[in-house]
Amino acid sequence: MIRSLYLFALLAVVAFGAVWLADNPGNVSLRWNDYVVQTTLVVLLGATALLSVMVSVLFLVYRWLRKSPGKLGGLFASRRRSRGLDAISHGMVAIASGNPDDARRAAIEAEKHLSGEPMTLLLAAQAAELNRDERATGIYYTKMTEKPETRLLGLRGLVNQAKRNNEYQKALELALQADQEKPGTDWVLKELFDLSLQLKDFDGALKYLERSGKGKAAKDPARLHLKAILEYERAIRRLDASDVQQAQALLQRAHDLDPDFVPATAKLISLSDDGRRREKLISAAWRQTPHPDVALAIKRLVPVESEADWYARAKKLFLSTNPDHRESLIELAKAALAAREWGDARKYLNALLESDPSVSVYRLLADLEEKANADAAAARNWIQKIPEAKADPEWHCDHCGRIQRKWTSRCGSCNSFDSFEWKSTDVDLEDQLIEAQVVKELTGN
């Protein structure tokens, strides 16, 4: 109430003053040298009030800027940063969706707003990679290696680039730099392993494989199998250098690491010295991995041997260790045929006809009819069954389907490592037949 009265009184005074001033405008005259300004008191008072307001506002702005000098600059910087980040995120999406033009545009935009930032460099490098601009890719990844926070990432990009250009030695050297930067990084050890394999440095590959799997992982069967292959390859190199003793030791290690790995077992048998130890090795091998390559290694242990002697040896070994296995029966049938033991040969082949009639079983039966009875018609009868017979197992590349008689660690067609598996090539055909049957049942045709 008192405040309202006070305000009312103030308004009354101002109104009275304004009316009074309007009635008595008066004259103000300013003279400075030759300049003369003539005005009324009201205008002079109004101009003075406006000037004071303007000076006050300017003073306030000045004080705000003085108190926080980075505010204005910060405002612009944060806008720039936000535009740069937008460009980076667009660029990353373009890269993930495989759009080279958008990725390049985003990289240029990011460079404009966030030049020299690690993410900008990464985007520029990946955009160049997507655009297949190898020169620019190299430049950006190299720039990344110059900053500690992006060095490892830059090296990874350069390793991949070298691999794309089939420069495996260069890729290995870059991967070694990455290993120095951060020892034991998973991808680095994997690259070092793969590149050593590519360069046929099996000692190196083994070293990196051992470094990458410690503790429980070291006992993983797939890893043990890989190690067995590497020891086998090292042994072959020792053999090439006529170091039979070292080769034997390495083959023994390969065999111990993976007793199912046939090439090492067969090679170990072929190098073993006559004696009790060899007999034990052979028996254990035929029990564990009955395989034509193992049988051949066992056969060749006696270089000059009559067919009857080999059949006697085979019978003793195969029947005592693995009598019902398909490979035992096939090897025995072949040996009996060569030794002209027709009755025995027929016995083994009949057993195979029951259990596993493959192409070679029909071939051996035809052979038997011709040799034992000179019965060409009966032989032809068996031969006619071959096209529908199950294929015999062979070394089969899981990646490209190449089939070969002899195992190799790397496929000659698709360059895959450890891709050969001993299996019948009919497996896929069987799958297709089952699949066709299922489709038939489902569609009711």
Q: Which is nearer to Zn ion, 256 or 421 (CB)?
A: 421
Shortest spacing between CB 407 and Zn ion, in angstroms = 13
Instruction: Determine which helix (DSSP H) or strand (DSSP E) holds 387, and give its type and residue range.
Output: none
Residue partners of 370: CB distance under 8 A and separation at least 6: 376, 379
User: In whole angstroms, how close is the CB of 221 to Zn ion at the nearest point?
Assistant: 22
Question: Which residue, 211 or 402, is less far from Zn ion as judged by CB?
Answer: 402
DSSP H or E stretch at residue 404: strand 403-404
Enumerate residues 6+ apart whose C-beta is below 8 A from 353. 361, 365
Sequence-ordered alpha helix ranges (H) in 339-375 = 342-355, 359-368
Shortest Å, Cβ 202 to Zn ion: 20
Look up residue 369 and give its DSSP letter: I
Distance CA 101, CA 127 (A): 8
Supply the minimum distance, in Å, between the C-beta of residue 400 and Zn ion: 3
**Which residues sit at the interface with Zn ion, rule CB under 5 A?**
397, 399-400, 402, 411, 413-414
Rg of the chain over Cα atoms, rounded to whole angstroms, equals 44
* Residue number with CB closer to Zn ion (72 or 400): 400
Q: How far is the CB of 415 from Zn ion (least distance, A)?
A: 7
The long-range contacts involving 339-346, CB below 8 angstroms and separated by at least 24 positions, are: 339/307, 339/308, 339/310, 339/311, 340/307, 340/371, 341/311, 342/368, 342/371, 342/372, 344/311, 345/372, 346/372
Query: Hey, how many other C-beta atoms are within 10 angstroms of the C-beta on 37?
Result: 10
Three-state DSSP state, 36: strand
Length of the chain: 445
Q: Find the shortest distance in angstroms from Cβ 424 to Zn ion.
A: 17
Cβ-based nearer residue to Zn ion, 78 or 413:
413
**Minimum CB–partner distance for residue 233 and Zn ion (Å):** 17
Q: Which of 268, 237, 236 is nearest to 251 (CA)?
A: 268
